[in-house]
Structure 1
Amino acid sequence: MKPVEPRLQRKLLAWLLGPLAVLLVIDTAAAYWNSVRFSDLAYDRALHEIGREIVLHVKLDGGQPRLELSEAAGNILLLDPDDLLFYRVTGADGTVLGGDADMPPPREAPRATGTEALAPRFYRDDVGDAPVRMMVARMRAGTGTGPGTPLVQVQVAETLHKRTRFAWEMVANIVLPQLLLMVMATAVVWFGVSRGLQPLQRLRRAVSDRSHLDLSPIDTHDVPGEVRPLVNEVNDLMARLGQTFDFQNRFVADAAHQLKTPVSGLKAQIELAQRETDPERVRHSLAQLYISADRLSRLVRQLLSLARNEPGALASMQLRPLDLNAYALEVSMEWVPQAIKRRIDLGFEGADRPLMIDADPDRLRELINNLIDNAIRYSQSGGRVTVRVNVGGSNECRLAISDDGPGIPVPERARIFERFHRLLGTQEDGSGLGLAIVSEIATLHGARITLEEDTDGVGNTFSVFFPLRGAGPSPGLSAS
């Protein structure tokens, strides 16, 4: 069985109309109880009067009470078009003076003296199979009022038809207007809730009718204040999705553009190798294929790294306390074989104390690797590359990589960190992505990067300034 879909309108109506329905039921029960009570009060007086009229027909014969109620008088007193009336009169000693034989004996009354002993009692009972309202009272026989006049006990019972009818008429007069008011309130509440939820319906249509490519903000005009924070969060989410899609589209476009040339080169070299019959030339072609495949692999790694370090990648970062001095030395040592192979003097100048920063180790390694790779790649054979770590300011530490490569003109320094930008005249293979990756990793860490000439006037120095741990939130992280 399909579960019932939760709906706001249904819940609002239930919470608004449910208590009203409960109150109506409680009010109906209370009205019925009060109606029965008032009905009994009204008809009990008449029942008491009938008992007093019957007692007037009790005569004293030699000081003993005797009931003299003719059939005509009995018909007058006990005739009722709606209910049956029963009576019985007994003396003080329990002798039945007259009345209906089916009348049950009175329930035992609490002992009382004085005037309380003469007060009538009313209760519900049964005569035969008929429920009745019973009146029991002790009265002085006949018309006597003196204390010497003997007491008789009179019982008068009446069936409940007119009492019940009167009680229900009173309930109807009370409840029917309230029920009509309840119906009107239901209609008004239904209409009000439906009108109140119309902005949500328009909001639903505005979202469902838009294209999946449309990530523009949802118009918050006429949106209820309770829903506006949700709509604002959705707009913020769509803005982030739009930024992510832009990053993805740019990555796909960049990858397609950059991979097209090396893949075409690979295909050309494969076709050339297939036409060769000389084993030596085939081995040469395979060697060229390996070099081209290695370049392509490096390009793919850089493209993936670029995508991983796009702005907005803070959610995937795992920052932890890290000593930049020791970490930079560790990464630099891994490049010693490559430096020796290129006949490059790779040196390290560290700080005299630990410099703690908050960093993602993998991304920081990638930043250092790209800077050292760039320095070794563009330095001449026999040149010098130096990695330095020192205090850059009161709240900063500095990672600097100096090389002996060709100097970068000042007009080009602003563009050197752009994607796929390469200096004209360089002979080294490259994709122009290494420094772009460095720049984006630095931004993710709230660091800033600069480029200036080396201190000896030969080559370039790339410096990355990281905020020291405990120096306050970094700009890059707070911007997120």
Structure 2
Amino acid sequence: MRKTEPRLQRKLLAWLLGPLLVLLVLDTAAAYWVSQRFANLAYDRALHEIAREIVLHVHQQDGQPRLQLSDAAADILLMDAQDRLFYRVDAADGTLLGGDATIRKAASPGTDPRFYEDEFHGEPVRMIAARMPIGETAGGPLVTVQVAETLNKRSRLAFEMVANVVLPQLLLIVMATLVVWFGVSRGLEPLQRLRRAVAGRSHLDLSPIDTHDVPGEVRPLVDEVNELMARLGKTFDFQNRFVADAAHQLKTPVSGLKAQIELALRENDPERVRHSLAQLYISADRLSRLVRQLLSLARNEPGALDTVQLQPLDLHAFALEVSMDWVPHAIKRNIDLGFEGVEHPLTIAADQDRLRELINNLIDNAIRYSQEGGRVTVRTSREADGQCKLAISDDGRSIPVEERARIFERFHRLLGTQEDGSGLGLAIVSEIATLHGARISLEEDIDGVGNTFSVFFQPSEDERATVSGLKAAV
């Protein structure tokens, strides 16, 4: 069975009207107790007078008390339109003088009248029990008189009093319920408009929700939703851009693969087929590299879902380790791959996998675009302002000054270059540098031949303390 969803309107009405209903119940109980007490006070006086009248009919005869109350006088004395009355009179020694013998004797009645609740013939009654003197003198013999009365008029009076108190309050609560319901409905109308505005939106509409006329209590929630939608919008933009980039870049190599496959299928000469398969392998390798670069670019975009874990890392040792991995490739291209660095650690906060990708792309570009027999040098150093520098130099064709601002754009390639490439390597480097809060620059090599890509990292807290200590020592 599906659980009923919580509704704010119901909760507000419950919290506002619930206490009123509880107070009504408590007030009704209190009013009933007060009305019962008042009714007893009112009718107990009459019951006391009846007891006194009965005692007036007790006289001394031969030294013994005798009740001289005729049936006609008893009927008149005990006559009541709403209730029935019963009495019993006992002498001081417990002898029954008159009345109904089935009435239970009161336990040790005093000279002051005692009122209490009891049962008579299975019906609740109000009783009075008292010891009263016979005759006019206070010092005469005492008799015990008991009078019982049913509770009809007492209950009716108490009910009327409760009704007179509770009915106006009940009417007031009904009116308050209507007013509160109307007020809550009007107060929640901005939320209903907000709900309708959101429900009427397209799933592609991620624009901010209008906060006009939004209650102050709900505005923080709406602001958070707007921020979430802004983040989702950026994520969707990244995804759309990735899809567009992938579609644009993959179309040409896929078409080339299909053309080479068709050519191989038409060939009968085993040597020509073997040549086509070799070309297919080269094209597939290029396609694989392009896919890896596209995925890397998507992963390293600012705001991407993949989080960056920055940990302390020695830039000098790490750059040397990555550079050593490229030695076989450099030897294959007859490239002199060298490394120069400082003697002490250069600690930065970095994501190890992404930093490896940054260095790999820079070394790959340097080897790829250097002439055969050329040189590539990787350097690490500390700048005067404390920044940690990673520089990679090559002796390839110098990039013109007017092109240097655009080489970090996606799919931008220099005209006249003969090397295969997608124009994504430096874009990936730029994105990774941005994720690390680093700055990347390009200038001519020191000897005026080739290019030098430099990445400047902010030192870690420990590195700053080391630099400060070195400066103090100097």
Shorter chain as normaliser: what TM range?
Answer: over 0.9
1:26-84 deviations in Å (ceiling 9; x for gaps): 22112111111111111101100111111122222344322222233222210000000
Which residue of structure 2 aligns with residue 461 of structure 1? 452
What is the TM-score normalised by the length of structure 1?
A: 0.93
Offset of residue 131 of structure 1: 1.5
Matched, 1:419 2:410: yes
Give unmatched runs, 5+ long, in structure 1.
Answer: 110-116, 474-480
Matches of 1:293 and 1:153, distance apart in 2:
122
Matched, 1:36 2:36: yes
8 Å contact kept, 2:235–2:304? no
Which residue of structure 1 aligns with residue 67 of structure 2? 67
Offset of residue 313 of structure 1: 2.7
Which residue of structure 2 aligns with residue 139 of structure 1? 132
8 Å contact kept, 1:314–1:444? no
8 Å contact kept, 2:115–2:126? yes
Offset of residue 314 of structure 1: 6.8
Q: Quick one: structure 1 residues 471 and 183, their matched pair in 2 at CA, closer, same or farther if it must change by over 3 Å?
A: farther
What is the SS of the residue equivalent to 2:446? coil
Which residue of structure 2 aligns with residue 435 of structure 1? 426
8 Å contact kept, 2:407–2:413? yes
Which residue of structure 1 aligns with residue 313 of structure 2? 322
- Amino acid of the residue matched to residue 447 of structure 1? A
Which residue of structure 1 aligns with residue 250 of structure 2? 259
- Amino acid of the residue matched to residue 91 of structure 1? A
- Amino acid of the residue matched to residue 371 of structure 1? L
Offset of residue 196 of structure 1: 1.7
Q: Quick one: structure 1 residues 60 and 395, their matched pair in 2 at CA, closer, same or farther if it must change by over 3 Å?
A: farther
- Amino acid of the residue matched to residue 458 of structure 1? V
1:123-158 deviations in Å (ceiling 9; x for gaps): 01122222210001111112223x3x1111111110
Between stretches 174-183 and 438-447, larger displacement belongs to 174-183
What is the SS of the residue equivalent to 1:118? coil
Instruction: Kindly report the root-mean-square deviation, in angstroms, between the aligned alpha carbons of the 2 structures.
Output: 1.6
Matched, 1:90 2:90: yes
Matched, 1:219 2:210: yes
2:370 to 370, 379, 385: 379
Matches of 2:432 and 2:304, distance apart in 1:
10
Matches of 2:455 and 2:182, distance apart in 1:
65
What is the SS of the residue equivalent to 1:291? helix
List aligned pairs for 1:74-473, cutoff 5 A.
74-109=74-109, 117-145=110-138, 147=139, 149-313=140-304, 315-470=306-461
Offset of residue 208 of structure 1: 0.9
1:406-444 deviations in Å (ceiling 9; x for gaps): 111111111110000011111111110000000000101
- Amino acid of the residue matched to residue 279 of structure 1? P
Matches of 1:425 and 1:206, distance apart in 2:
55
- Amino acid of the residue matched to residue 44 of structure 1? D
- Amino acid of the residue matched to residue 125 of structure 2? V
Matches of 2:389 and 2:198, distance apart in 1:
49
Q: Quick one: structure 1 residues 388 and 184, their matched pair in 2 at CA, closer, same or farther if it must change by over 3 Å?
A: same
What is the SS of the residue equivalent to 2:409? coil
1:103-138 deviations in Å (ceiling 9; x for gaps): 2111344xxxxxxx4210000112222221000111
8 Å contact kept, 2:347–2:463? no
What is the SS of the residue equivalent to 1:221? coil
Say how many residue pairs are matched. Answer: 464
What is the TM-score normalised by the length of structure 2?
A: 0.95
What is the SS of the residue equivalent to 1:155? strand
Offset of residue 471 of structure 1: 7.5
What is the SS of the residue equivalent to 1:468? coil
Between stretches 33-42 and 186-195, larger displacement belongs to 186-195
Matches of 1:132 and 1:142, distance apart in 2:
29
Matches of 1:250 and 1:236, distance apart in 2:
21
Offset of residue 347 of structure 1: 0.6
State the 4+ residue runs in structure 1 displaced beyond 4 angstroms: none
Give unmatched runs, 5+ long, in structure 2.
Answer: 465-474
1:280-336 deviations in Å (ceiling 9; x for gaps): 222222211111111111111111111111111375222222111111111000000
- Amino acid of the residue matched to residue 169 of structure 2? Q
